Structure 1
């Protein structure tokens, strides 16, 4: 199984077992966490989900959280009979947080996961931890431990189906005709300017650029529209502060609009 860890700005310190819903300890009953079973797919994989139920008005972060916060960090290393886990992130919301723009979810997050077993004839066990932050007027850090045996005979789960339906549109579904990224060296790293030919996604559009390399960081882009072209400009720097190469095929651009969101994988040179 591939280890799956991503950096975070805040972590919740708590412990729970997912055999049944349990309240995280040490965070004043701010969040409940449960693993949902969604049954077996035609590919032989299993559907599941992490469900976070937050106290009214509290928020947690998306994988690219904007100006404030850093996304959850998942560790599946204690799991058994797992070859791979893929996550489908529902389209997030944009919040103004003390003058800063953050991106995430309020009140509840159902995060679908697809599990590929190493051996289809053996049980699949999910065991590990998630570090995250929940925020309102203040942010509370903590960690949630989980231990859950997947129910191979579970039926379709409406909560998982609804979360999958809330994923961003693909570039094709959204009518993206072209996505080009122009790169220019800067004093600290590299400027990336994305020109995306696509219909409006509604209202104020906010683009998020992810470099695709965990050692690189992209600033929240300035986003504007000129007719049929959306322009997003961001600066990418390396965690080491040294020079780096940016692979355009790994760049991921998400456009968050009032009507829908769009997930664009990779961009061309021009």
Structure 2
């Protein structure tokens, strides 16, 4: 079973346009500088290349994983940088499920920079977990320039396209959530009206409050109704007010198909 090391391992910043950093033979990071769009926004990417046998994690990594953490700074007119998440895989380690990527992954970045002129200087830090028999949190740092003139990068575009589809695109019907209190939090059962596309289905539930711990979902299906039940524990260890409109539900199928659902209603 994987064991988390408690000490983060940092790599030095490299002041180059395309940054390549590595930590031993486990993982390498590269900044893909991308291109400026017609609206003035910039599309870039962070590429992680993993050694054989190693994995890294999605934003909701499962009970054993370490979620990526992005931090960006800039002196330029950048108002927001949004990372995007390609469809992950579900890994089973002796019954302990985790969610992430093997071999390599590109996290596309959408940079709101409509007021920018010329190249943009951006500094950043990315902490990820890389795991084989053990899990190690690794922090990459970088300083880079995003060019005003750059060619469209097919690898970033492909990673952007490899995203979960919306409820409308998947012809999802009703999405309901039943809430009941438990001793240290809440139990939620989601019922989703959606056709089955794979024999294997895994459901991830993310509350709007990231401090809430969520158990692995117990998933079942009857016809076109997919059900997922989780326990949620607030740091207070007590039942709490739950915002149905802010919950995010992702259905991951064994064939690489994924559906991204936002919010649920009462039964």
Equivalent residue for 2:3? none
Structure 1 residue 139 and structure 2 residue 142: aligned? no
Q: Relative to 1, partners in 2 of residues 1:174 and 1:28: Cα closer, same or farther, differing over 3 Å?
A: same
Displacement of 1:119 in angstroms is 2.5
TM-aligned CA deviation for residue 199 of structure 1: 1.0
Check if 1:262 corresponds to 2:262: no
**Residue of 198, 203, 211 corresponding to 2:199:** 203
Structure 1 position 40, deviation (Å): 1.8
Task: Please list every run of 5 or more consecutive structure 1 residues that lacks an aligned counterpart in the other structure.
Answer: 1-8
The 1:242–1:32 alpha-carbon spacing in structure 2 relative to 1, beyond 3 Å, is same
The structure-2 alpha-carbon separation of the partners of 1:53 and 1:10, relative to structure 1 and needing over 3 Å to count, comes to farther
Pairs within 5 Å for 1:2-81: 11-17=8-14, 19-24=17-22, 27-77=23-73, 80-81=76-77
**Inter-partner Cα distance in structure 1 for 2:249 and 2:170:** 13
The answer to which of 194-203 and 37-46 deviates more is: 37-46
2:77–2:113 CA contact under 8 A, matched in 1: yes
Aligned to 1:234: 230
- Structure 1 residue ranges, 4+ long, deviating more than 6 angstroms after superposition: none
Residues 139-176 of structure 1: CA distance to partner in whole angstroms, max 9, x if unpaired?
22221101111112111101111111210111111111
Native 8 Å contact 2:118 2:148 kept in 1: no
Q: Kindly indicate whether the alpha-carbon contact (under 8 Å) linking 2:17 and 2:33 is maintained by their aligned counterparts in 1.
A: no
Contact persistence 1:15–1:143 (CA under 8 A):
no
CA RMSD, 1 decimal: 2.0
SS at 1:163's partner residue?
Answer: helix
For residues 87 and 114 of structure 1, what CA distance do their matches in structure 2 show?
A: 7
Asked whether 1:253 is paired with 2:233, we answer: no
In 2, distance between residues paired with 1:239 and 1:262?
29
Which whole-Å CA distance do the structure 2 matches of 1:218 and 1:160 have between them? 31
TM-score, normalising length: structure 2:
0.91
Choose from 106, 112, 119 the match for 2:108. 112
Q: Which residue of 1 aligns with 2:154?
A: 158
Please list the CA deviations of residues 50-81 of structure 1 after superposition, one character each: whole Å capped at 9, or x if unmatched: 10011112100000011211201111135643
Distance 2:93 2:134 in 1: 10
Q: How many residues align?
A: 261
Determine helix, strand or coil for the equivalent of 1:174.
coil
Task: Give 1:19 shift.
Answer: 2.5
